[in-house]
Every structure is written in structure tokens, then in C-alpha cells.
Amino acid sequence: MSTAATSHYKSNLRDIFFNLFEVLDIGSTSLGQGSFTSLDVDTVKSTLESLEEFVQRELSPSWVESDRVPLQFDGEGTVTLPPGLRRSILSVFESGWHMLEVPEHLGGVGAPPTVSWAAFELTAGANPCIAFYVFGTFIARVIDSLATESQRERFVRPLLENNWGGSMVLTEPDAGSDVGAGRTRARHVEGDLYEIEGVKRFITNGDFDAVDNIIHLVLARPEGAGPGTKGLSMFIVPKFWVNEDGSLGERNGAFCTNIEHKMGLKGSATCEMTFGEKIPCRGLLVGGVHKGIRQMFHVIEHARMAVGAKSMATLSTAYLNALEYAKIRVQGPDLLKATDKTAPRVTIINHPDVRRMLMLQKAYAEGMRALCLYTAWIQDQVELAGGHGSADSKELDRLNDLLLPLVKGYCSHKGYEILASSLQVFGGSGYCQDYPIEQYIRDQKIDTLYEGTTHIQALDLFFRKVARDGGQTLRGLMERVQGTLGQLDGIAALEVEKSALTRALGDIQGIYGAMMGKLPESLYHAGLQGNRILFATAEVVIGWLLVRQGLVAHRALTKLEAENSTNEKELDFYRGKLAAVRFYCREVLPGLTLARKQVEGSSLELMDVPESAF
């Protein structure tokens, strides 16, 4: 186990702070308001600095072990974690970091989403398995929000105070992403009590030995309920029964019956779960109402945000590892002296193609962080406007809903693609376990597959988030982009960025216009072009967010230079930010013009090709 691998994680707290305090200005727009009155800027900064130190010390060292030391399944329902990984999980509970996002009325810190998602980046970047093993705190929040009063009293405090685990249980072996095809049954016993029977698959953290109990949120079909997702209900199903006073009872009939052997993220137990086979499996109908898929979407959308943030965190540390390597790896002469056999060898960061790959990674990593934290900021504003579903938060809710498939679908899919550049900087060494890049790639690939594949995100964006409200929310977002373009008037230093973003804005409007014109012919057009539309939408939004950052960086750099500042670290940060923004505008945004032409010129010929011809 190499030193390079065990100390793999490289955070970018400076860019996190830039997003939170200089661009989003959460000190004025979130902190000290509504339910976020207990935190101020200094407290948030010191908290995230402490967390950064904690994840480096306690979480990052077990990341390699989680990949190399297999999980142990005893065949009787118990999954045993590698010792170091188990210690890391317990350290989170012991230090109380899992309570950062928990509301104050439940004994937590009550951090706004911007702060809790910034913290999630640090945790997921250091050891993504752990970021999901502490999912129980979110399950507690869901129960607190949706359950009956007796269910809240029975589960929420015990779950938080005893550090129980949690999981979301949707997928079935034959159904896959078609959740509505699920056949797990629920038989009514009395009141809100049901008995659950069936088999679920691909259940993250369905069992693990670092906690005394696990609370599963399970989708099942009550007897007599109709087909599809509308016939599903959600149930609280504990591994060990929880008595009415919150104490632990006997073993419940929810058992892990197999674990998957995976390409990556091996330390995260991906379980087959069988309900009601060995002994009866009892569950409580959440809230006493049959609104399962609507209730589960509270969990699904949180998980989708987490997956996108995980991908961003992985790309960020991969880039910083590649950057460090490029500054010390000496190979070949400068290209301008390639024919001079006596020319000195240089570090590879001096080679143009390596610089291109590094700036590609930097631009995408910082752009994805901007997207994740802007979405989190919208979630801040939803809370301050009265919370999800309130009358005053409807417009913000819809904007958050539109952004989520970009966070999940784009960050996961493009993140995997750009990680190849991280590996390429290392050359053959990157393909070996001496460096963390090969594990990053294996650990990250799952992000494009679970919580809704990339194309599911694309269809969700197009049909549920854009077409359903007639494009109103998308137009509102594009008006925000237009507003930023207006702020660039007269700033010569950002003329390239303004021109590129203006053209990209026109291209994305053209893409949606062309697709709406094609849909009367066939929905196949959306199927064939959906991913391209998802990517183009995300790239416009990221381009806009980066240009906003460029405006802030330009002002800050101008001020520092006018003051004859000698703080080279800060000067270089803003110079690097401006370089990344310009690179993205010149290298990425022009691709929207091609995407527009492809959507405009697309046909259905592919659907007419006989299966035998493939």
C-alpha cells in the first residue's frame, strides 16, 4: 500500500470558500436568517477547516483499505467491514460531524444546505463510502418530516442518539430502474403495521456492522393496490424492531442475503435484501398514508445531489493529484528545443498537452463545484422561503428540481470522462495502484448508473422539469444568465467570456426550440437526443456560473493589483480562476453550436435499423 495512495485526498477549501463567501455571499443571503441564525461566516469557515483536518486524519487513510480488503458476508445476514473503514465511520459519530446538517430542533447544528454540501464534498472526496454509511441522519430527517407523531417519537431521537444506519430500498432484481414494476408486497396487519415480503437488489449499505440498528425506507405494494409507481407505499422497516418507547426489540425479518462484488466503491456494501423469508418482516406505513413514490422522492433527490457532489469531489482531488505530479515529474525537453539533444529535461507541466489536460480538469472541477454549490444555495433559499412545498418557495422549488438532473447526470457522466485526463497526466504510472487515480475512476463510475442513469436524468430534465411547465422555469434560469451578461458590459477583460456565453445562450434556446418542433413527429427524438440536451443545458449553466466567478475574480484581482499586493497566493488564485473561466469559454461553450446543429438535423433513421443489423 503506497504512501501516495494512503494520503490520497487533496481538498480545495480555498475554492469552496470562494464559492460560499465571495460569489454566493452566504454571509448575507443565508447565514443569520430564518433557521440559520446560529451560524456566521467565521463559524462556518472554522467548522469547514476543522472538518478538512478531520477527514485527512480519520477518513482518508481507510480509503485504500476499503478497496483492497474485502467485505465479509457470513451468509446469515451480517456484513463485516474492514477494520479501518469501521473505525473511520465510528470516528464520524464520535466527533459529531454527522449532526452538521441535522436541524437544531433535533439536536443538530442546523447548517444550511450550502454548508452541509460543502462538508459533504470534503467527506466524499476523502472516502466516499463513509459519506453514505452515515446516511441514517438523513433518514431521521425524512421520518421527522413525513411520519406520524408516534412514528417520529419512536424513531427519530433513537436513530440520532444511537447513531443508527439507514438505507433507501427501491430496486428489485427484475425491475431495475423501472421502480413501478416492483413486486414486493405489504400485507396489512393493523393500524399502520404491515408485513413486508419480497426481494430487493443493489441496496447501498443494506447491512454493515458499525451500527446497532439500520432503518430501511422500503417501497412495497399493499394488497389490492394498483400497478405502477402509484400503487407503491413507503414503510419504515428496522433491522431490529423498535419498541414504542424507542428501545431495541427482537430481530426483524429484513435480511441481507447477498453482497455484490463490484468494479469499484468496494467498501460500500451493496446488498440483496430479502424481506419476510426467515421470519416475518414488520414495517410501519410512513405517515399512515399511501404516497410512497412521492415520499421516496425526498430521499431520491437528496441521493442524486449526493452522487453528483461525490463525482465533483472525486474529480477535484484527481486534478490536484495530477497537478502535483506534473510539477515534479521530469520528462523530455521543452517542445521548442525538442531537436536539441543536449537540452535540459523539464517537468511535464511545461508541455502544452499536459497544460491543456490540467486546465481541462481544473475548469470542469471548479465548474461542477459551482453548479453543486449554486444548487445548494437555491436549497438555502427554499428553506428561508418556508421550506419545500410551501407557497412562497414554489418558484425556487422548481428551479432546484431543474438543477438536480444537471448535478447528478452531468457531473457523474462528464466527471468519468474527465478523470481519464487525470490518469493520462500520470502516464503508465496512473494505471497502477501506486497512485490513486485508477481507484478514483473505478469508485466514480457507479455514479453514472445508480440513483437514475444518465439517460433517466436526461428524460427527467426534458419532460418533467422543462416541458411540464412549458419551459417557464428554464426561461427564468436563462433570464438569470442574461442578467449576468448585462453586468459584463464595458469590461474589456471579459469580452471573450461575454461573447462565448451570449452565443451559448442562443444555442441552448435553439436546441430546445428545435426539439419541441420535432416531438409532434415522435417521442423517439427525445430519446435519441436527450443526453445531448442534458449536457448542453449543464454546460450553459456551468459556463454562466464560471463567468459570474470570473466577474468576481476580475474585481478582486484588480483591487489587489491596485493595492500593489504582495500576497502571491491570492493573486495566483484569482489569475487561475480567470484562466479556467476563459479556457471553458473557449474550449467547451463552442461545442453547443455543434450540439444545436446535431439536434436540428437529427432523424429517426436509427430506429428503423433492424435488430439483426446491429
Domain harbouring 171, CATH code: 2.40.110.10
Catalytic residue numbers, as ranges: 451
pLDDT tens digits along 454-490: 999 999 999 999 999 999 999 999 999 999 999 999 9
Half-sphere exposure of 21 (CA within 13 A, CB side): 14
**Do 173 and 242 sit in the same domain of this protein?**
yes
For residue 109, give the CATH number of its domain.
1.10.540.10
- CB–CB of 168/299 below 8 Å? yes
Domain membership flag for residue 303: no
pLDDT value at 154 more than 50: yes
Domain membership flag for residue 609: no
Domain membership flag for residue 154: no
Domain membership flag for residue 459: no
Q: What does the pLDDT average to over 128-156?
A: 97
Report the candidate in 248, 226, 230, 228 with the shortest Cα–Cα distance to residue 238: 248
**Do 121 and 223 sit in the same domain of this protein?**
no
Give the contacts of 361 (CB within 8 A, at least 6 positions apart).
315, 318, 319, 322, 323, 418, 421, 422
- What was the pLDDT predicted at 174? 85
**Do 123 and 44 sit in the same domain of this protein?**
yes
pLDDT value at 5 more than 90: no
Task: Write down the mean pLDDT value for the chain.
Answer: 96
Count of domains observed in the chain = 3
Confidence of residue 13 (pLDDT cuts 50, 70, 90): very high
What 3-state DSSP class applies to 186? strand
Residue ending a domain, among 142, 175, 193, is 142
Q: What cell does 339 get?
A: 531537436
**Do 200 and 109 sit in the same domain of this protein?**
no
Phi, psi for residue 193 in degrees, rounded to 5: -90, 130
Residue ending a domain, among 245, 275, 290, is 290
Residue ending a domain, among 264, 290, 316, is 290
pLDDT value at 593 more than 90: yes
pLDDT value at 198 more than 90: yes
pLDDT tens digits along 99-109: 999 999 999 99
Polymer length of the chain: 614
Which DSSP string corresponds to 15-83? HHHIIIIIIS-HHHHTTTSGGGTT--HHHHHHHHHHHHHHIIIIIGGGHHHHHHS--EE-SSS-EE--H
- CB–CB of 260/171 below 8 Å? no
- Domain hosting 271: range is 163-290
**Do 173 and 121 sit in the same domain of this protein?**
no
Domain membership flag for residue 46: yes
Pick from 174-183, 369-378, 497-506: least confident: 174-183
**Do 40 and 69 sit in the same domain of this protein?**
yes
**Do 130 and 189 sit in the same domain of this protein?**
no
**Do 118 and 176 sit in the same domain of this protein?**
no
Domain membership flag for residue 28: yes
pLDDT value at 145 more than 80: yes
**Do 52 and 181 sit in the same domain of this protein?**
no
pLDDT value at 413 more than 50: yes
Domain membership flag for residue 332: no
Domain membership flag for residue 313: no
pLDDT value at 188 more than 80: yes
- What was the pLDDT predicted at 176? 81
**Do 26 and 100 sit in the same domain of this protein?**
yes
**Do 507 and 567 sit in the same domain of this protein?**
yes
**Do 132 and 182 sit in the same domain of this protein?**
no
